[in-house]
Amino acid sequence: MSKVVGPVLATGAITLANQSILGNKPVDWRIPVATGFVAITLSMLERPLPQLAQLMAWTMLIGVTFTQINDDQPAPVERLVDWWQKAGPHYTPPKNG
């Protein structure tokens, strides 16, 4: 299996989850189609230029995770931090005294 397929599929899954699961919007079917297209394209590029294809795949994954893609929805990391602060476990330190 190609070394670029994993990061590309993770990028598509993060994008889809950020929009549909965390953002409560309907599934945008362009995301899985584009993910498949990019996976195939980078797999073909990996044969002549393996380091470049892997660099592109990992850069894409990091960029999508930390960057706000659309103006109306925050980046996945921002959304997960908001969720963690609202619904996640809250630690209350013991009181001295």
Reported as a single tens digit per residue, the pLDDT across 3-53 is: 999 999 999 999 999 999 888 899 999 999 999 999 999 999 999 999 999
Q: For the chain, how many structural domains are there in total?
A: 1
pLDDT the model gives residue 92: 64
Is position 91 within any domain?
no
pLDDT over 60 (residue 97): no
Is position 60 within any domain?
yes
Is position 67 within any domain?
yes
* Integer angstrom CA distances of residue 39 from 15, 16, 43, 51: 15, 16, 6, 15
pLDDT over 80 (residue 87): no
Is position 93 within any domain?
no
Q: Whole-angstrom Cα distance, residue 3 to residue 51?
A: 10
pLDDT over 80 (residue 63): yes
Structural domain including 49 reads 5-86
